[in-house]
Amino acid sequence: MALNLFLNKPSFGTFGQNASSSGNVPTLFAMPNCHGFRLEETTIDQLQQAFEEERLSAVEVTTCYLDRIRQTNGWLSSIQETNPDALAIATQLDEERASGKLRGPLHGIPYMAKDNIATDDKMETTAGSWMLMGSKVPRDAFVVSKLREAGAILLGKTALTEWASMRTANMSEGYSARGGQVRNPYNFTLSPGGSSSGSAAAVAANQCVFSIGTETDGSIITPAERNALVGIKPTVGLTSRSGVIPATRHQDTIGILARTTKDAAIALNAIHGIDPRDKFTQDQQGKTPSLESGGYAQYVADRNALKDARFGLPWDSLWARNSPEQNDELVKIIQLLGEHGATIVNGTELENHEILVNPSGWDWDWRGKLGFPNESEFSVVKVDFYSDIKTYLGELSDSPIRSVEDMIQYNLDAVGSEGGVPGIHPGFMGGQENFHASAATKGVEDDTYRSALVFTHSASRRGIDSALHNRGEPVDALLVPAGFAQAISVAAQARYPLVTVPAGVNTTRTGIPFGLMLMGTEWSEGELIKWASAIEDAITAAKGSRPLPNWKDHHRRVLPVLYE
**519 belongs to a structural domain:** yes
CB atoms within 10 A of CB 54: 9
- pLDDT, residue 6, reads 42
- pLDDT, residue 257, reads 99
**172 belongs to a structural domain:** yes
Given 57, 77, 78, 114, the catalytic residue: 114
- pLDDT, residue 11, reads 55
**381 belongs to a structural domain:** no
Are residues 196 and 160 in contact, defined by beta-carbon separation less than 8 angstroms?
Answer: yes
- pLDDT, residue 323, reads 86
**371 belongs to a structural domain:** no
pLDDT along the chain (564 residues), means of 10: 47 52 61 97 99 98 99 98 99 99 99 99 98 98 99 99 97 98 98 98 99 98 98 99 99 99 99 98 97 97 98 96 90 97 97 93 94 98 99 98 99 96 96 98 99 98 98 98 94 99 90 97 99 99 95 95 90
Q: Are strands 79-82 and 153-158 parallel, antiparallel or unpaired?
A: antiparallel
**397 belongs to a structural domain:** no
Half-sphere exposure of 89 (CA within 13 A, CB side): 24
**423 belongs to a structural domain:** no
Instruction: Give the number of domains in the chain.
Output: 1
> What's the domain range around 483?
44-282+289-365+452-543
- pLDDT, residue 24, reads 46
| Whole-structure pTM value | 0.95
Residue 195 designated active-site: yes
**238 belongs to a structural domain:** yes
> Hey, is 403 helix, strand or coil?
coil
CATH number at residue 73: 3.90.1300.10
**377 belongs to a structural domain:** no
Residue 219 designated active-site: yes
- pLDDT, residue 96, reads 99
CA distance 11 to 13: 7
Considering only CA atoms, which of 218, 177, 227, 169 is closest in space to residue 198?
227
| Tens digits of residue pLDDT in 301-349 | 999 999 999 999 999 999 998 988 889 999 999 999 999 999 999 999 9
Residue 514's H or E segment, with its range, is strand 513-519
- pLDDT, residue 15, reads 62
> Hey, is 18 helix, strand or coil?
strand
Taking CA atoms, 112 is separated from 41, 132, 202, 207, 319, in Å, by 16, 20, 8, 9, 33
Given 172, 219, 376, 545, the catalytic residue: 219
Handedness of CA 453, 457, 460, 463 (dihedral sign): negative
Given 78, 135, 195, 211, the catalytic residue: 195
- pLDDT, residue 508, reads 78
